[in-house]
Amino acid sequence: MAIETLVLGAGQDIGKSCVVVTINGKRIMFDCGIDTRFFDSPTHRYPDFTLISPNRDFNSALSCIIITHFHLDHIGALAYFTEVCGYNGPIYMTYPTKALAPMMLEDNRKVMVDRLGEEELFSADQIAECMKKVIAVNLRQTIQVDEDLQIRAYYAGHVIGAAMFYAKVGDAEMVYTGDYNMTPDRHLGAAQIDRLRLDLLITESTYATTIRDSRYAREREFLKAVHKCVSSGGKVLIPTYALGRAQELCILLEDYWERMKLKVPIYFSAGLTIQANVYHKMLISWTSQKIKDRFSKHNAFDFKNVKKFERSMIDAPGPCVLFATPEKISSGFSLEVFKHWAVSENNLVSLPGYFVGETMGHKLTSNKQAKDDADTKIDIRCQVHQLAFSPHTDSKGIMDLVNFLSPKHVILVHGEKHKMATLKDKIHSELGIQCYDPANNETIYIPSTHYVNAETSDTFVRSCLKPNFTFQKCSSVDICNSTTIDKSLMPELQVEDERVAEGVLVVDKGKKAKVLHQDELLLMLGETKQDS
């Protein structure tokens, strides 16, 4: 028996996560994303689904689809796959993902159709149609997809509703992590999973070589910068993505505001962000422990100091903090505000995350000398603070998870090629676990566990119930390696329980395998000897 892993996307790459795993005859597609960097090329944008089934009969080829979270590089191609390619089977995702997915898909569709002027591949109604096929699951709820296939979701942090998925067919077990975070942030908890006997772990590796500092240090710098700015009467602009980051930073600020008794107003710009707050408020059980604990007293997403921002307030005097979309300051409201505020050295722009491409965000972070922007004709004098917050785990987190789960094989996806190779070697050398980093459209075969059912004799069962341990003296290996403590000559006391070791597997011709107690076997052998 083997587990076959076909990587359709995010192999040695970030973008369009899509992995098809075949275990004991069941085929599961984990994630179905698009590559947002290739908006102009549909062939690059979607995973190559024909590799699953050359005759495009996806319904018989796949047992189910599992979506880990609502980011476009994990869910973007779902509507295309169901509505255009015609997949009709079950789709599993967590409740929050199901709630937020339509919004994301619709946004994406609009961008493609309206902005890029592309031909419409599917309509808004078709997205709704696609969502009807989705079965929502809860954390740690074991779902029997069919007679043999079991799946279970575990908390993954990262974004609200993100989950790692465990799948089991027969005796073969595996986990697909999706994106996860091993350290909690202000609104989400850390990934949480049981210790399982896994044959395969497929993990993301966005930060395959980075080790991040303490979260506290990042928060402190951010708060210090913001506090300094507002206390000297400046305005703070935080261009941010609507879901997740805005809430996290806002909780951080709220908490600080409460403790320091600050009265400076905090604003949220557009309706989308307010709506996202509503979602977070409802999905409280998917947030971090602290927010859950305090929920009975106060919903952390009920921001006391947050008000809605009106366009007329842009030039109003006095300090304030504003969250505005989009995060790249490429267009829209954040750019509009930026144009007004960037001219004063009192003000601060706080940029969460990193940017690629020709956007204002990129210019600000990459080259701080370029204070005069030629395209937009803005005299940029404001302070710039860059936040190093990321919802992905760092390389230490990946190592810790792999170490905790100790699977037999690891496959790395969702990362940069050379960094993944480094991590692959590290996992192999430090943890002694076989590790792979396949490229897109590559297939990996790994052996899987298969248990043989055997009957047991009563004597053996009885002996298993009775504890039967012995103490032995033998030298241990790890002590021998040490040169300084020469204890290799001194035997070490160890305890052994002989119960199971006393069983003997007997396979008679044409009969089912059977486990006998060793005494029984001797008896039986004695009998056969007499017979002959």
| Calpha distance 301→279 (Å, rounded) | 9
Q: Does 474 bind another protein (CB under 8 A)?
A: no
Select 44 or 227, whichever has its Cβ closest to another protein: 227
Q: Does 193 bind another protein (CB under 8 A)?
A: yes
List all residues 6 or more positions away from 506 whose beta carbon is below 8 Å from its beta carbon.
Answer: 513, 514, 515, 516, 521
| Among residues 469, 475, 505, 522, the one that binds another protein under rule CB under 8 A | 469
Closest contact distance (angstroms) between CB of 290 and another protein is: 6
| Calpha distance 381→385 (Å, rounded) | 13
| Calpha distance 520→518 (Å, rounded) | 5
| Among residues 44, 290, 340, 381, the one that binds another protein under rule CB under 8 A | 290
* Of 89, 77, 81, the residue nearest 27 (C-alpha): 89
Q: Are strands 134-137 and 142-144 parallel, antiparallel or unpaired?
A: unpaired
Alpha helices in 284-416 (DSSP H): 289-294, 332-341, 360-366, 395-405
Q: Does 530 bind another protein (CB under 8 A)?
A: no
Q: Does 471 bind another protein (CB under 8 A)?
A: yes
Select 316 or 490, whichever has its Cβ closest to another protein: 490
The DSSP-derived string for 90-139 is -EEEEHHHHHHHHHHHHHHHHIIIIIT-PPPSS-HHHHHHHHHTEEEE-B
Closest contact distance (angstroms) between CB of 357 and another protein is: 31
**Tokens describing residue 37:** 């960097």
| Calpha distance 180→157 (Å, rounded) | 6
Closest contact distance (angstroms) between CB of 497 and another protein is: 4
Footprint of another protein on 208-237 (CB under 8 A): 211-217, 219-220, 223-224
Q: Does 296 bind another protein (CB under 8 A)?
A: yes
Closest contact distance (angstroms) between CB of 207 and another protein is: 12
List all residues 6 or more positions away from 247 whose beta carbon is below 8 Å from its beta carbon.
Answer: 187, 276, 277, 280, 301
| Among residues 40, 430, 486, 527, the one that binds another protein under rule CB under 8 A | 430
Angle of helix 458-465 versus helix 518-531 axis, rounded to 10: 160
Q: Does 362 bind another protein (CB under 8 A)?
A: no
End-to-end CA distance of the chain: 40
Closest contact distance (angstroms) between CB of 42 and another protein is: 41
| Among residues 336, 400, 416, 442, the one that binds another protein under rule CB under 8 A | 400
Contact 238, 322 (CB under 8 A): yes
Determine whether 310 is an active site residue. Answer: no
Q: Does 453 bind another protein (CB under 8 A)?
A: no
Closest contact distance (angstroms) between CB of 26 and another protein is: 25
| Among residues 102, 113, 256, 365, the one that binds another protein under rule CB under 8 A | 256
**Tokens describing residue 348:** 């601060």
Of 33-41, 258-266, 303-311, 366-374, the segment contacting another protein by CB under 8 A is 258-266
Active-site option among 4, 120, 173, 204: 204
Residue 344 exposed, middle or buried by CB count within 10 Å (0-12, 13-18, 19+): middle
The H-or-E segment that residue 280 falls in is: helix 271-282
Footprint of another protein on 316-335 (CB under 8 A): none
The H-or-E segment that residue 251 falls in is: helix 245-260
Select 130 or 196, whichever has its Cβ closest to another protein: 196
Footprint of another protein on 72-101 (CB under 8 A): none
Footprint of another protein on 2-61 (CB under 8 A): none
Closest contact distance (angstroms) between CB of 466 and another protein is: 6
Q: What is the DSSP letter of 315?
A: G
| Among residues 54, 144, 195, 529, the one that binds another protein under rule CB under 8 A | 195
Question: Total binding residues for another protein by CB under 8 A?
Answer: 61
Closest contact distance (angstroms) between CB of 299 and another protein is: 13
| Calpha distance 98→160 (Å, rounded) | 11
The H-or-E segment that residue 173 falls in is: strand 172-176
Interface contacts to another protein, rule CB under 8 A: 182-184, 186, 189-190, 192-195, 197, 211-217, 219-220, 223-224, 251, 255-256, 258-261, 288-290, 296-297, 394, 396, 400, 403-404, 406, 430, 462, 464-467, 469, 471, 476, 482-485, 492-497, 499-500
Q: Which residues are catalytic?
A: 204
